Amino acid sequence: MQVDRFDPTPLYQQVARAIREQIQSGSLKPRDPIPSESELVADHGVARETARRAVALLREEGWVVTLPQRGTFVADRPGRTGGS
């Protein structure tokens, strides 16, 4: 799904929202891999940096966990930071 370039919402937030909704709806389940950066670039029509920011945002929000050189996966308890 391409982003909407007329929507003033930053593209990386649009991409993040699309993934977040897939997690919330259950089409992406805990421990499932989310699309790789390259796939996000192709699927959404954005630059890699934009895709990376989207994933970074989801990571900060606790939706996903990234394993370097492995991939990024849906967290066991998505949406929870795990912090104190």
Partner DNA sequence: GAGAATTTGTACGTATGTATG
Partner DNA sequence: ACATACATACGTACAAATTCT
CA distances from 55 to 17, 45, 79 (A): 10, 15, 13
* Alpha carbon distances (Å) from 11 to 26, 30, 44, 47, 77: 23, 25, 9, 10, 26
38 is a site residue for DNA (CB under 7 A)? yes
Least CB distance to DNA at residue 50 (A): 3
Q: Rule CB under 7 A: is residue 48 a binding residue for DNA?
A: yes
When binding is defined by CB under 7 A, the residue of 25, 27, 68, 84 that contacts DNA is: 68
- 10 is an interface residue for DNA by CB under 7 A: yes
What is the H or E stretch that residue 66 is in?
strand 64-67
H or E segment and range at residue 72: strand 71-74
Q: Candidates 23, 46, 74, 75: give the one binding DNA (CB under 7 A).
A: 46
Which residues in this chain contact DNA in the complex, by CB under 7 A? Answer: 8, 10-13, 36-39, 45-50, 52-53, 55, 66, 68-72
